[in-house]
Amino acid sequence: MQKTLVSIIVTCYNRAGMVCKALDSVYAQTYRPLELVIVDDGSKDNSMKVIEAWKASHPDGDGFTCIAKTFPNGKLCLARNRGNELSHGEWIQYVDDDDWLYPTCIEEKMTYIAAHPERDVVVHQVEYIVSGGKSIGSSKLTLASDDSRQLLHLLDTRTDTLFSPTLMLRRTALDAIGGWTNGLIFADDIDVVFRLAAKETKFGIVDKALSAYNMHDADRQCNKVIHQLPDDFWSSLFLRLWEFFQKTGKTTQDIRDALSGQAAFYARRQMRWGRFQSAWMGFDAASSIRGYAFGIEKLPIACKYPMGWCCFLTYKLKIMVKKLVKAMIR
């Protein structure tokens, strides 16, 4: 019986010193047939030269093929979508350029799929690795036991996010949601997982660490971005998700409450970082999703998240002070 082709997509940006470990981990997989697709997202270092040298030393054969291509920088989501277009596998696994898979990762996932053919997304736990190769433990990702409760489970702020390096997706499931959201510069995992769940995609899990999440001293790409996000980033993200939920008919009050809770959760984070405008916009989005349109009707959401009013007043006070200073200068 012919085995199913799996495509592994490695996206790279300025990681010439790290990417080979990720590529080696793909080549070392015990599962075949395997297709490795490497997308260089316009690196400014010599990443592509390193990738080309690696490819030359790992020729195709014995069920392994490799495609490597560089593109103008378009950020992570576009790079993944470009990888999807280049790939041919029925299943797609993603690997970041600073992480690596353990040798049996794909084999164990495909064994799970053989036993659960109705699943469209299979996730696994990751092992957190710090400098010196020391492990500091593994993730605690969970899924709902009842598929009908999966969206609510994933929307719960107490549930760990199924971050993108853990995802292996059936191509048809990814195509059904339009792939990754081009232009999204952060929270790509939140966006894609919530949209998959809203489409009633069936999730499964191999409950063991099958890859390493490298928490190296050099800032991960996400840490470079998180404090530079536009003020409306989180509010826009959750409002777009709400629009998607509406299109898929996921509009029950418990789903509205859960998505509203997510928006408020990230608004509180912005408030802790002193980003009061972003925080208030997040609480405002939470209010809209929950069903309170304007004015005094926002009082219930403010009572549920009382710090929202503090955030709003602080933001307004900052505006008033700026206006006063400008008036005094004149």
Q: What is the pLDDT of residues 174-195, one digit of tens each?
A: 999 999 999 999 999 999 999 9
User: What pTM did the predictor assign?
Assistant: 0.87
Segment among 95-104, 207-216, 269-278 with least mean pLDDT? 269-278
238 contacts 263 by C-beta, under 8 angstroms:
yes
- Does residue 241 lie in a domain region? yes
- Does residue 1 lie in a domain region? no
Q: Are residues 170 and 278 in the same domain?
A: no
- Does residue 299 lie in a domain region? yes
Question: How many domains are there within the chain?
Answer: 2
Q: Determine the average pLDDT of the residues in 288-301.
A: 58
Q: Determine the average pLDDT of the residues in 18-42.
A: 98
- Does residue 259 lie in a domain region? yes
Evaluate if residue 4 carries a pLDDT over 70.
Answer: yes
Q: Are residues 38 and 185 in the same domain?
A: yes
Q: From residue 172, how far is each of 8, 15, 120, 204 by CA, in Å?
A: 16, 31, 8, 16
Q: Residue 176 sits in a domain of what CATH number?
A: 3.90.550.10
- Does residue 309 lie in a domain region? yes
Q: Are residues 23 and 51 in the same domain?
A: yes
Radius of gyration of the chain (CA): 22
Q: Are residues 42 and 173 in the same domain?
A: yes
Angle between helices 253-272 and 276-290 (to 10 degrees): 170
* Domain of residue 276, residue span: 229-329
Q: Are residues 62 and 14 in the same domain?
A: yes
Q: Are residues 74 and 145 in the same domain?
A: yes
Q: Are residues 10 and 146 in the same domain?
A: yes
**Final residue of a domain: which of 178, 208, 224?**
224
Q: Are residues 214 and 238 in the same domain?
A: no
**Final residue of a domain: which of 224, 241, 273?**
224
Percent pLDDT > 90 in the chain is: 73
